[in-house]
Structure 1
């Protein structure tokens, strides 16, 4: 993982003793708003733990790196005793900061004579500012400091505006539906799904290029065990004026293939949008009557691919922060799950659309596939609840076409 150490400084890998030493000798570790150095953590106790919580909280406003084992005045890499530090830092972040923080603690970097290094990344928090001992903390070029009341109010107001604006932007994606441009005879009455992901702070990286996005999509693990390609099939240029866009093909497809169509875009500000034609589909039952069916398996697969792609984008661009992620599904009223069509009185979705959003931190996922599956179920919770699928596991839902 590459780390952002401040404006004008390159994204830097800090996963070896030599790498940290080279960064220090190159002047990249000079303490500033994004970088804090500690020769050691200090003894257990209220005082050192409180100072650690203040450091973590201060870095959470804009994101940053806390490095143990480097002297803060001379930038000399000396190492320290790292036994028990990972657990202690996690506990302090969870109990001393309010709201709790979830820093990314790298593996210990082994050094000479048992003196090691530990790099702790603190992603920008969508819940910032965070409080320690009844005070809010932020940073300046000189290190951590107590935030003044006007600064706190500004940060909280910006946080609220991001949340409300996100829901509006998510719902607006359906007004310019890209799937309609990819299917003959549109609009067909089939339901589509629209996904939006916005980083909770600026991504310190160059915009992604088309080939880089194609490489991420074709190598997605989710969806390899059969089924339609969905996002994995997005290899054709989508000509998005706001960034890089990809789609599943150039030519329009017949309505019966609408559920396979997909599109994804990564904008210059790293907003990620995606659309799928597979939320609902009209089938004819044995009597020739039309029935609107929810393609739950397609939606689960597509959602998992979207979250996996988001994690890969975060990793390749060096962004360790959180994302606000949401899904908006249309044409749902009266839809029933496929296997319920012939059950007599199947549950039918009671609303025209469904919208749900959550905050995730993909680079902090220690078991990526498990956490992708858990996040997928959470993201589609309202959709599944409206179909009588509340409490179903990822695998149960994935098996339903």
Structure 2
């Protein structure tokens, strides 16, 4: 155990708690709150909800089962009954806090006291902070919660919007760096680990077997659905170096990257600063009707299967990169699709009967969101929905994909 109770402190045993206590490190800080117990009732629910909301700004930990003594300073471990408590705290985070928060809890058993112990509640830094409880926004001071002023709330919301604008601008720049496209549609998804060190993935790019590491990460992230369309990065063994990055590729030969008219290339670049960039052709393709007489004109269609699949693949990959290279923070994700004006939904047009959907009326589509590591691992398809659902609605294809976002968790692969 590391003898610190800062934002990365992660106690797992009673010994961990005891060691921190004996070293005089178990004390309330900007990142840590200690509680003897949590009382029953709505009032207590709101109090713990305010604690959770306040920590969501910078991240933090609540340890339940520590008595501060009559003087507020003489600390001791105080095992509590754990039955139902984790579920209650997690429910409070999603029902009393607005917007709902995803948190994690760890039960720690007390020696010699069956059913009793301590509960460690970890609140990750939320990309959607500030959060509200009972009509008030909360933040964390040095050791206590505080209500945020209107000016602070506005500033935090503006910072969030600015961040989304920045990630989309960077995604557009990444498309431009691919070279002249000649009107070919490109899907680009950029995932950026917020606050990560600039050299997060240097150990990968310096490694003598980086190809093996990249391949295993992509294969672990891939699901059967990622092998059902082309171009797919789930079944490839091609690699290349990029500026400040290494990449896994498909449909690229003799050192070429994206050749105009080929419509078969894709790659994921692992940048040294930790960001991941997936770029793919065939987001839009030509649909022909060779067996229809009289033959109708060819139409351009949006290949939703590829867009949704590649977005899910990169989200799952970001979670694996976090776990492999020790990043526990928030990711900002930007998605851009070019060459869309005048297209329709492939999903709807491919049906024998029924409505073909709506014509897309803009040249491109863009969307950005933020997600914690818990979001990426527990509900990756919810993150996909935040990024792609507006495009589906614009094509009038959202009903055809409703079940895609409600499928069981992909965490097990």
TM-score w.r.t. the length of structure 1 is 0.76
Name 1:252's counterpart in structure 2.
Answer: 256
**What do residues 279-299 of structure 1 show as CA deviations (whole Å, max 9, x unaligned)?**
123466547976534333222
1:85-164 matched pairs, under 5 angstroms: 85-97=85-97, 99-112=98-111, 113=113, 114-132=115-133, 135-147=136-148, 151-164=152-165
Q: Hey, what's the Cα distance between the residues in 1 that align with 2:18 and 2:239?
A: 44
By how many angstroms is 1:228 displaced?
A: 4.8
Gaps of 5+ in 1: 181-185
Q: Against the structure 1 CA distance between its residues 362 and 91, is the aligned structure 2 distance closer, same or farther, given a 3 Å change threshold?
A: same
Q: Hey, what's the Cα distance between the residues in 2 that align with 1:106 and 1:96?
A: 17
Q: Against the structure 1 CA distance between its residues 93 and 12, is the aligned structure 2 distance closer, same or farther, given a 3 Å change threshold?
A: closer
Name 1:333's counterpart in structure 2.
Answer: 341
Name 2:34's counterpart in structure 1.
Answer: 37
By how many angstroms is 1:55 displaced?
A: 1.6
Question: Is 1:187 paired with 2:181?
Answer: yes
Partners of 1:53 and 1:132 within 8 A in 2? yes
Count of paired positions: 376
Name 1:183's counterpart in structure 2.
Answer: none
The correspondence for 1:296, drawn from 297, 304, 307, is: 304
1:298-337 matched pairs, under 5 angstroms: 298-317=306-325, 319=327, 321-337=329-345
By how many angstroms is 1:115 displaced?
A: 1.9
**What do residues 183-210 of structure 1 show as CA deviations (whole Å, max 9, x unaligned)?**
xxx52532111113345x5348971342
Partners of 1:280 and 1:292 within 8 A in 2? yes
Q: Against the structure 1 CA distance between its residues 146 and 191, is the aligned structure 2 distance closer, same or farther, given a 3 Å change threshold?
A: same
**What do residues 301-341 of structure 1 show as CA deviations (whole Å, max 9, x unaligned)?**
21110111122234445555554433210112233455737
Partners of 1:234 and 1:264 within 8 A in 2? no
Q: Hey, what's the Cα distance between the residues in 2 that align with 1:234 and 1:214?
A: 7
1:3-42 matched pairs, under 5 angstroms: 5-6=5-6, 11-22=8-19, 24-25=21-22, 29-41=26-38
By how many angstroms is 1:238 displaced?
A: 3.4
> What SS is found at the alignment partner of 2:318?
helix
Q: Hey, what's the Cα distance between the residues in 2 that align with 1:123 and 1:192?
A: 34
Moved more, 386-395 or 348-357: 386-395
Partners of 1:373 and 1:394 within 8 A in 2? no
Gaps of 5+ in 2: 205-209, 406-413
> What SS is found at the alignment partner of 1:52?
helix
Q: Hey, what's the Cα distance between the residues in 1 that align with 2:152 and 2:392?
A: 41
Measured on the aligned residues, the alpha-carbon RMSD in Å equals 3.9
Partners of 2:103 and 2:123 within 8 A in 1? yes
Partners of 2:344 and 2:395 within 8 A in 1? yes
Q: Against the structure 1 CA distance between its residues 146 and 334, is the aligned structure 2 distance closer, same or farther, given a 3 Å change threshold?
A: closer
> What SS is found at the alignment partner of 2:146?
strand
Partners of 1:357 and 1:379 within 8 A in 2? yes
Q: Hey, what's the Cα distance between the residues in 2 that align with 1:234 and 1:71?
A: 56
TM-score w.r.t. the length of structure 2 is 0.74
Partners of 2:5 and 2:26 within 8 A in 1? yes
Partners of 1:194 and 1:327 within 8 A in 2? yes
Partners of 2:124 and 2:329 within 8 A in 1? yes
The correspondence for 2:46, drawn from 33, 44, 50, is: 50
**What do residues 114-173 of structure 1 show as CA deviations (whole Å, max 9, x unaligned)?**
322212111222333334455543223334334456544543432343344444444444
By how many angstroms is 1:57 displaced?
A: 2.0
Moved more, 296-305 or 46-55: 46-55
